[in-house]
Chain A
Amino acid sequence: MFNQSQLDAVDSTILNNLIGSGVDHVIFMDMAGNTIAKHHHGKSRLDSTAFAALAAGNFAAVDAMAKLVGESEFSLLFHKGEKSSIHFSKVNEDTLLITMFNKDISLGLVRLKVAETVKDINHILDAE
Chain B
Amino acid sequence: MTLALINVKTREVQIKIVYYGPGRGGKTTNLEYINNKYRDQIKTEMVSLKTQDDRTLFFDFLPFDVGRIKGFDVTIQLYTVPGQVKYNATRRLVLRGVDGIVFVADVRKEQRRKNIESLNQLYENLETYSIDLFKMPLVMQYNKIDLKDSGIEILPTQVLQKDLNSVLRAPAFEASAVSGGNVIPTLKKIITLTLSSIQDQLF
State the A residues within 8 Å of B (CB). Answer: 1-4, 7-8, 11, 30-36, 47, 49-50, 53-54, 56-57, 60-61, 64
Contact = CB atoms under 8 A, between A and B. Distances in A.
Contacts of B93: 57, 60-61, 64
Given A33-B61, A49-B63, A50-B61, 7 more contacts: A7-B9, A32-B2, A34-B97, A49-B77, A53-B77, A53-B79, A54-B61
Interface of B: 2-3, 5-9, 14, 16, 43-45, 47, 49, 58-59, 61, 63, 75, 77, 79, 89-90, 93-94, 96-98, 201
B43 A49 contact: yes
Given A4-B8, A34-B14, A64-B89, A49 B97 contact: no
A34 B77 contact: yes
B8 A33 contact: no
22 contacts: A1-B8, A1-B201, A4-B8, A7-B7, A8-B9, A11-B9, A30-B5, A31-B96, A32-B98, A33-B97, A34-B97, A35-B14, A36-B7, A47-B43, A49-B63, A50-B47, A50-B63, A53-B47, A53-B59, A57-B58, A57-B93, A64-B89
Contacts of B7: 2, 7, 36
A57 B91 CA distance: 11
Contacts of B3: 1
